Structure 1
Amino acid sequence: MPWRALAVAPVAFLGVFFVYPLVAVMAQSLTDPAGGLDVSGFVKIVTSAYYRETLWFTTWQAALSTLLTVAAALPAAVVFVRFRFPGKSLLMALATLPFVLPTVVVAAAFDALLGNSGLLNSGLMAAFGLDSAPIQLERTLTLVLIAHVFYNFAVVLRMIVSYWSNQSPQVEEAARSLGAGSWQLWTRVRLPMLAPAISAASVLVFIFTFTSFGVVLILGGPRYATLEVEIYRQALSIFDLPVAAALSLIQIGLMFGMLLVYSRLQRRITVPMRGEASVSRLPHSWRAKLGALVVVAAMTALLVTPLAALVVRALTTAGGLENFARLAQNPRGSILFVPPLAAVGNSLVFASITTALAVGLGLITAALVNARRWRWLDALFMLPLATSAVTLGFGYLIAMGNPPLNLRSSAVLIPLAHTLVALPFVVRAVLPALQLIPNNVTDAARALGEGPAGVWRRVRLPIIGRAVAVGASFSFTVSLGEFGASLFIARPDTPTIPIVIFRLLGQPGASNYGQALAMSVILLIVCGAAFAIIERLRISVAGVF
């Protein structure tokens, strides 16, 4: 097979739509319009207390979000590893759903639940005859932190459960036989044993919350600004491109460093201890039953309540079902150039193009990585995951406005950007399935006269078909919910669903708010359907997410 020729497409795509925009950001931050060296953007950041405080806030809120997420997920991991109970698989699937939801849907859900006019406050005001909301969480850091825990809960839960389930129970049994109590068992056996998984999950959650954009922008308001939000403001509101570029460059450096740390930790948790794996059992004592019940109830409340509140508020906010009907209208004076429902069509078209491109390029990349000589491509195509969507969108804004790639005014840039974000998910879905195909299977096909194309068509594709479908579903979902990059490059006449929701949420009036909730419910249903496909197919595909 002409591997070198095959590698051209994915490497060229990465070079044009990832490396080139980042180089443009670097050039914008280090040069003046005449091409000379200009570090004024960095000087302004270093000498300004505001930017230092922004960096510090971004760091400590990410650390606090990580700590809270681990604290919430660890008890759930104990229950999932040690106990069997009805609905266990369903609850694990439910825990993973928030991770594939768009940030604007999560933000809208928590606003519908805990906002000043949200479901909880409305119920308390009606029950006790109050004139104002008793729970004031709107535009607070507390609401942002709760949303971060909701979003990243599954990351910690799945990594700890997967690692712990493969550990031998003999170590704990030996500790008990030596007289270790519950406290000593946790501090001297379990926590040291789980430290690699907890550390890797913590670094991953820190990366996600450090680069949090939509949740902070919508729920935090102007008072709270992470680096992501500040890059957006500097580029699109203040138009200080050198500062925006300098902030982007700082964030890229920090995130690549965190990705290296995560890669090292990830290698540690892929080597399980030898021995018989842990076996879950039914809770035997009343304390175990009560503890498991409390954890499951709290977990269910965290995961279900915000989404249920979103649906209820969409159906009961002024207009009710009329909010869905108004999505097809574009009245005079609207902030949108097209009816909100047109954004659904735009997003579906963009998601379809993204899926086709991501699956095609992902298959080629996975095949190349599976060939021993091209394993360096695996790390190369993971780099977009360490680069925030806002930074990529800003890079497109700078790099794609002049020949030979004058695409800034073209809607085609949106699916291209989404493909870059979705491509790593396809590679991670397909590669493990390819690696599980025994060599003697492909050797037998070749012995029967099949050429390289025939081996792929008749042997490999049928075997990895379910993994490809998982990658396609991820690509479709990622494209539907992508917000950060789209906010920079989407044209007013071709908005996506998340952008319409964001714009409607930012406008006063019950009608705008009702339509934003209606759009969020539509996006929730579509992403939920895609997630159901992923969960159904991933069961028989080892190593997939």
Structure 2
Amino acid sequence: MTRRLAWALPPVVLLAAASLYPLVLVLRQSFQPDTGGTSLKPYTDVFVSGAFREALWTTVWLALAATACCLVLGFFLALVIAFVPFPGAKAVARFVDVFLSFPSFLITLALLFLYGNVGVANGMWSEVTGAASGPFDFLTTPWGVLLAEVTYFTPFVMRPLLAAFSGLDPAQTEVAASLGARPARIVRQVILPEALPALAAGGGLVLVLALNEFGIVLFTGAKGVTTLPTLIYGKAILESDYPGACVVAVVNVLVSVGLYALYRMVSRRAGA
């Protein structure tokens, strides 16, 4: 027992030094206003702010909407890749693995290149109609941020689903089809129950990542879209309000952990 504790102690110490200690510093700073001393004034100042309430709501609904869209789209795409024979299916599956290594701002820049004010779509529209500007200006709105997040995070759902589908016995679907079950019923009663754990894993990962996404919101240039991470950046870098930034950071951590715990509880009750 003593030897096991000795082997476990170094990783625990490294983990505490790398992650827990900075969190403790952030928590302590959130109770220390610029005027000195220790008080709840940074929390009261932040909580009464309309910008904070708007950022909190935007963060939550964007994360939940992105997770729901990624689950639906990722399940459909993984289903097509795994069970619909078409040329290049294996290449597409490998591309999903490569896509996971892309930084989020790269995907956002690609969308800006396609649908930005001077992007390809607006340029083609101007050439055809002769208009000075095109109709595609949604990237600077919350819907543009949602599109970028769904585009970037969907492969995080597809990867565990493809792994789950690769372990599914083809005999199960073949027997169901031989008994007269239609494709929709096979998906609902045979494939979906096997995919629930993978859906829960992918959805939980997307939820946590979307709650803390910073690069996509920043690179879309959506000035009217403020999330908790961008609010932290604004208070710390632009306003030099470090206690306020720490308060928002503490709230961001609590929201992330709370929503993830709720997601796990719902997934367990659903049998995932």
Question: What TM-score does the superposition give when structure 1 sets the normalisation length?
Answer: 0.44
Partner of 2:129: 128
Higher relative contact order (CA 8 A, sep 6+): 2
The corresponding residue for 1:148 is 149
- Residue of structure 2 equivalent to 1:39: 40
CA distance in 1, matches of 2:83, 2:184: 17
Does 2:218 match 1:217?
yes
Aligned to 2:52: 51
Alignment of 1:104-119 (within 5 A): 104-119=105-120
In the alignment, is the contact (CA less than 8 A) between 1:200 and 1:266 conserved in 2?
A: no
- Equivalence for 1:68: 69
Shift of 1:263: 7.6
**Paired residues for 1:370-389 under 5 Å:** none
Deviation at 1:77, TM superposition (A): 1.0
Answer whether contact 2:145 2:222 (CA < 8 A) is retained. no
How far apart in 2 are the matches of 1:229 and 1:223?
Answer: 11
Judge conservation of contact 2:42–2:243 (CA < 8 Å) in 1: yes
1:147, 1:12 → 2: CA distance?
38
User: Deviations for 1:344-386, whole angstroms, at most 9, x for unmatched residues?
Assistant: xxxxxxxxxxxxxxxxxxxxxxxxxxxxxxxxxxxxxxxxxxx
Residues 103/182 of structure 1: CA separation in 2 closer, same or farther (3 Å cut) = closer
Partner of 1:196: 197
Q: Is this contact kept in 1: 2:145–2:216, CA < 8 A?
A: yes
1:158 aligns with 2:159: yes
Equivalences for residues 73-92 of structure 1 within 5 A = 73-92=74-93
Cα distance in 2, alignment partners of residues 259 and 35 from structure 1: 35
Residues 174 and 36 from structure 1, CA distance in 2 versus in 1: closer, same or farther, beyond 3 angstroms? farther
In structure 2, relative to structure 1, the CA distance for the partners of 1:9 and 1:33 (3 Å cut) is: farther
**d(CA) in 1 for partners of 2:180, 2:110:** 48
Say whether the 8 Å CA contact 1:196–1:265 is kept in structure 2.
Answer: no
Q: Displacement of 1:266 after TM fit?
A: 10
Counterpart of 2:140 in 1: which secondary structure? coil
Aligned-pair distance for 1:164?
2.4
Q: Comparing 162-171 with 252-261, which one deviates more in the overlay?
A: 252-261
Question: Which amino acid is the alignment partner of residue 99 of structure 2?
Answer: P
Contact 2:108 2:216 in 1 (8 A): yes
Check whether the contact 1:58–1:210 (CA below 8 A) recurs between aligned residues.
yes
Q: Alpha-carbon deviations, 1:158-198, whole Å to 9, x = none?
A: 11111122233454455445554344334444333322222
Query: 1:502 aligns to what?
Result: none
Q: Distance in 1 between matches of 2:206 and 2:212?
A: 10
Paired residues of 1:26 and 1:245 also in contact (CA < 8 A): yes
2:26 is matched by which residue type in structure 1?
A: V
What is the letter of the counterpart of residue 181 of structure 1?
A: R
Structure 1 residues 87, 40: CA separation in 2 closer, same or farther (over 3 Å shift)? same
Identity, % of aligned pairs? Answer: 29
Task: Please tell me whether Structure 1 or Structure 2 has the larger radius of gyration of its CA atoms.
Answer: 1
The whole-number CA distance in structure 2 between the counterparts of 1:187 and 1:89 is 24
CA distance in structure 2 between the partners assigned to 1:122 and 1:9 by the alignment: 58
User: How many Å separate the matches in 2 of 1:149 and 1:97?
Assistant: 17
State the one-letter code of the partner of 2:52: Y
Residue 445 (structure 1) aligns with: none
Q: After superposition, where does 1:387-426 map in structure 2 within 5 Å?
A: none
Q: Counterparts of 2:221 and 2:60 in 1: how far apart (Å)?
A: 16
Once the 2 structures are TM-superposed, how far is the Cα of residue 257 of structure 1 from its aligned partner? Answer: 4.1
Distance 2:49 2:190 in 1: 47
Letter in 2 for 1:122: G
The corresponding residue for 1:247 is 248
* Structural mapping, 1:262-341, within 5 Å: none
Gaps in structure 2 of 5+ consecutive residues: none
Does the CA-based 8 Å contact 1:203-1:258 persist in structure 2?
A: no
User: What secondary structure is seen at the aligned counterpart in 2 of 1:63?
Assistant: helix
* 1:28 maps to amino acid: Q
Alignment match, 1:538 = none
Asked if the contact 1:200/1:265 (under 8 Å) is kept, the reply is no
Equivalent residue, structure 2, for 1:468: none
* 1:167 corresponding residue in structure 2: 168
Relative distance call for 1:35 and 1:265 in structure 2 (3 A) is: same
Task: Tell me if the contact between 1:58 and 1:227 (Cα under 8 Å) persists in the aligned partners.
Answer: yes
Residue-by-residue CA offset, 1:170-228 (whole Å, 9 max, x unaligned): 54455445554344334444333322222221121111111110111121422101111
CA distance 1:46–1:149, change in 2 (3 Å): same
Shift of 1:48: 3.2
Secondary structure of the 1:222 match is coil
Counterpart CA distance in 1 for 2:117 and 2:108 is: 14
**What do you get for the CA RMSD once the two structures are aligned?**
3.1
Residues 127-171 of structure 1, C-alpha deviation per residue, up to 9 Å, x if partnerless?
Answer: 332211221224122221221122112111111111122233454
- How far off is 1:233 after superposition? 0.5
Q: How many aligned residue pairs are there?
A: 268
1:58-84 CA-partner distances (Å, limit 9, x unpaired): 111111111222222222111222134
Distance in 2 (CA, whole Å) between partners of 1:104 and 1:184 is 39
Correspondence for 2:100: 99
Relative to structure 1, the CA distance from residue 192 to residue 9 in structure 2 (aligned partners, 3 Å threshold; closer, same or farther) is closer
Tell me the CA shift for residue 27 of structure 1: 0.3
